[in-house]
């Protein structure tokens, strides 16, 4: 596996000599079996490119679900220091800003839901707009939309979507500060006006799941998860609004390297110094998109709860739906981390990567502080997803970061060439999963065969001490765009 050097069974290093211009080494978390695909996908080239960013600290990091992306690899992590000329790069956040995962628990068991699972999935499919370009039933005036961009999930709670207690269990409290809506283009506002409360397409989904294995009883109990319990997982982000923000600022930041006198090995890594006007403007706009996504998931969760009540004919108390946690995995944030023995304020880019803060960290909600932050890692729609808990090694090694999902092994075009919808539906039925999808092509792109086994991915971060496994959930119902 040249040119990688083995550090442990699940950690490999890419040396500074791999590519001219690297300021730090690359580090890849993966089992030896995973490396063949990682090397074959040419991801190491992107890990090396990220290592060339001005102000980057310690390592250019890659999680075990790494695959080729725009600028950064998906599964890429980098921290840059503002006081060393560190840059902010939209490619290190992604087009779907604050794409993330939300998990809700219920008091129901599989036996309560299985007899009505077809009715439930049908109700969810009717109530939750999904699919490419699909609009929400919420059409926002400009003033309302600008409030979303500044208030995030708080905006949704004020309008009756969920409750104020939810905000404690959303990263950043569901709202990133210092969002500035005056930086947003009219085109982005136009695209975002009709999409709050919609799922979108691609790999976005809503799943009804059942907890089928528990690895850590104490952590599971603390999170309110029990064997056989029904959960709901939502994966989506900032929709067309976030895409447009990214597109707008790639053009702005594309001119910044020449202006500020640094070179990059890939134009897709367009960057500006964090403390420059361009860098500050992008950060303010990115926070708007992040807040849009927080509001979107908050509205979707409330819609899902209403669908459960209607389809199952039960009371809110009998359902007992509560938010476990909501984590972004396409975001850049300022955090304090120990670097070379002293605390430093750095900008952590997480592109297809999830925060994993350990027990007793002040940013972890009080309820979870004894066990660590819940880490939500969805798998493909035919197998299973995992809940983990953050561990101290993540702070020491990865700026408090782990994987975000299974990671693709087939491109979308390859999946559509080699797989077909009818076979996918039969496979899902054999697995006991009821699936409803708006688009046959997009559903095929998300078939199990297109993804790594997420169990192998979470086993790597567990073995590395970055997060520990808490429980596994299997899907019984899936809504896709």
Tell me the catalytic residues.
Answer: 404
Total number of residues shown for the chain: 481
Neighbours of 458 (CB within 10 A): 30
C-alpha span between 286 and 21 (Å, rounded): 28
Q: How far is CA 426 from CA 121, 380, 416, in A?
A: 17, 16, 16
Q: How far is CA 216 from CA 178, 223, 276, 469, in A?
A: 38, 11, 46, 7
Tokens at residue 114, please?
């299985």
Q: What is the dihedral of CA 326, 332, 335, 339, to 10 degrees?
A: 130
Is residue 66 reached through a cis peptide bond, with omega within 30 degrees of 0 on the bond before it?
no
Collapsed DSSP state (helix, strand, coil) of residue 16: helix
C-alpha span between 432 and 320 (Å, rounded): 25
Give the distance from CA 417 to its chain's centroid: 27
Q: How far is CA 130 from CA 127, 136, 300, 389, in A?
A: 9, 9, 11, 30
In the chain the first and final C-alpha atoms are separated, in Å, by 38
Tokens 């596994």 locate to 472
The full DSSP string for 49-66 is: HHTTSTTB-SEEEEEEEE
Tokens at residue 43, please?
């991801």
Collapsed DSSP state (helix, strand, coil) of residue 325: strand
Give the distance from CA 471 to its chain's centroid: 19
C-alpha span between 30 and 118 (Å, rounded): 38
Tokens at residue 75, please?
């599964």
Residue 229 φ then ψ, to 5°: -75, 150
C-alpha span between 47 and 52 (Å, rounded): 9
């Amino acid at each position: 596996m040249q040119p990688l050097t083995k550090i442990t069974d699940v950690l490999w290093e890419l040396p500074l000599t791999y590519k001219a211009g690297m300021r730090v080494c690359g580090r890849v978390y993966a089992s030896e079996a995973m490396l063949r695909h990682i090397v074959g996908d040419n991801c190491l080239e992107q890990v090396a490119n990220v290592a060339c960013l001005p102000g980057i600290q310690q390592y250019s990091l890659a999680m075990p679900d790494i695959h080729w992306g725009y600028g950064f690899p998906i599964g890429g992590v980098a921290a840059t220091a503002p006081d060393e000329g560190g840059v902010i790069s939209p490619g290190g956040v992604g087009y779907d800003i604050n794409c993330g995962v939300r998990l809700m628990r219920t008091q129901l068991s599989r036996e309560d839901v299985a007899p009505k699972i077809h009715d439930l999935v049908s109700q969810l499919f009717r109530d939750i707009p999904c699919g490419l370009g699909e609009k929400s039933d919420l059409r926002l005036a400009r003033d309302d939309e600008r409030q979303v961009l500044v208030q995030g999930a708080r905006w949704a709670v004020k309008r009756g979507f969920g409750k104020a207690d939810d905000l404690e269990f959303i990263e950043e409290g569901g709202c990133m500060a210092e969002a500035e809506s005056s930086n947003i283009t009219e085109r982005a506002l136009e695209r975002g006006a009709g999409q709050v409360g919609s799922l979108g397409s691609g790999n976005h989904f809503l799943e009804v799941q059942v907890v089928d294995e528990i690895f850590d009883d104490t952590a599971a109990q603390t999170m309110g998860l029990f064997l056989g319990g029904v959960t709901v997982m939502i994966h989506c982000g900032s929709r067309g609004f976030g895409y447009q923000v990214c597109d707008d600022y790639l053009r702005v930041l594309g001119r910044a390297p020449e202006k500020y006198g640094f070179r990059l090995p890939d134009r897709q890594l367009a960057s500006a110094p964090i403390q420059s006007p361009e860098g500050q403007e992008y950060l303010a706009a990115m926070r708007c998109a992040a807040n849009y996504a927080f509001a979107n998931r908050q509205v979707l969760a409330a819609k899902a709860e209403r669908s459960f009540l209607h389809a199952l004919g039960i009371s809110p108390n009998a359902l007992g739906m509560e938010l476990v946690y909501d984590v972004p995995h396409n975001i850049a944030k300022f955090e304090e981390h120990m670097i070379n023995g002293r605390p430093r304020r750095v900008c952590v880019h997480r592109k297809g990567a999830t925060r994993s803060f350990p027990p007793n960290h002040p940013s972890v909600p009080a309820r979870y502080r004894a066990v660590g932050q819940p880490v939500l890692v969805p798998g493909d729609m035919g197998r299973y997803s995992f809940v983990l808990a953050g561990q101290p090694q993540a702070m020491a090694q990865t700026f408090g970061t782990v994987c975000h999902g299974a990671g693709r092994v087939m491109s979308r075009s390859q999946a559509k060439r080699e797989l077909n919808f009818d076979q996918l539906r039969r496979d899902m039925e054999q697995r006991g999963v009821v699936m409803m999808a708006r688009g046959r092509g997009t559903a095929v792109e998300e078939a199990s065969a297109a993804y790594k086994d997420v169990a192998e991915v979470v086993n790597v971060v567990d073995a590395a001490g970055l997060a520990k496994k808490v429980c596994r959930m299997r899907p019984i119902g899936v809504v896709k765009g």
